[in-house]
Amino acid sequence: GSKDLVLKFRQKFVKEAQTIAELDNPNVVSIFDIFEENETAYYVMKYVEGGSLSDIVSEDNPLPEDLAVKYIRQIGNALDYLHKRRLLHLDVKPSNAMLQDGVVVLTDFGISKHYDAKGGQTSATPAGISKGYAPIEQYNQGVQSFSPATDVYSLAATLYNLVTGKLPPDAADVYEDGLPEFPIGLSAKVCNAITIGMCPRRKDRPQSVEEFLALLGPEEEPVIQTVSKISRKSKITIWALAVILMAVL
C-alpha cells in the first residue's frame, strides 16, 4: 500500500543481509549472495538440513544435560562472536538454532541490531518478542543500547527449554514469581546458571556470554586421543598374551 515504506524496508533488508554476509563463524549461518529482482530483495543462505533444536525437544523428551550444555556452548560461541562486533541477535531460541551434523548453526537475524562504539543502535528493526525467551527490556521499546545481557537471558531461557522440555515462563511471570522448580536430576550448576541468566533485571545477569558459560563449569576436554591410546595398549596386551599362550602350547 506504500511504495516508500516498501522501499525503506527493502533497503534495510539488504543492509542487514550485507552485515550478516560479512560474518564468518561455524555457528553462524552463512550468506552467499544478495540480489534484487522483480522489485524484491533476496539473499541466499547456506542450507542447514538437520532441523532445529525445537524439533528434537519436547516435554516428554528433554535433552540429556551434557548434550544440552554442549549445544548451549555452541550457540554461546556464535553470540560471543556477534557481540564482539557490537551486534545483538535478540531472538535466540531453539527454533532458531539449526543442527548440521551435530553442530549448531544460529539463524534468523530478522530483528538483530547493530550498535556503534558508544553502544547506540545504528539499525532500527521492528520490535520482536518471542514469548518465554525475551527479557523484560525487549518489551519496553526494544533494546536501545548495546547490552549482551539481553542475549544472555535468551540463551539461559533456551537452556531451560532444552533440559526441561518446557516453554520458559514469560519474563513478567519470572519477575513476579521467579522460575518454577527444576526437575529432579538436574545439576546444581545448570539450575544456578539458568536462574542467574534469567534474572529479570538486566544488571543482575552475567554481562557477557563468557560469564554465563563460566557458570556451567569448564568445558570438558576431548577424550578421543586418550581412548585411542588405551585401545592401542589393549591390543598390544592381547597380542602379548596370545604369543605367550602359543609358546606354552
Enter the C-alpha cell of residue 51: 532441523
CB atoms < 10 A from the CB of 28, how many? 21
Enter the C-alpha cell of residue 40: 524484491
CA dihedral 119, 121, 125, 128 (to 10 degrees): 20
Is the alpha carbon torsion for 95, 96, 98, 103 positive or negative?
negative
Instruction: Find the catalytic residue in 33, 91, 170, 173.
Output: 91
Provide the residue type at 144 as one letter.
Answer: Q
Provide the residue type at 42 as one letter.
Answer: Y
The reply to whether 4 belongs to the active site is: no
Q: Rounded to whole angstroms, how far apart are CA atoms 125 and 114? A: 10
Enter the C-alpha cell of residue 108: 534468523
| Contact present, 226 and 185 (Cβ < 8 Å) | no
Q: Looking at the annotation, which residues are catalytic?
A: 91
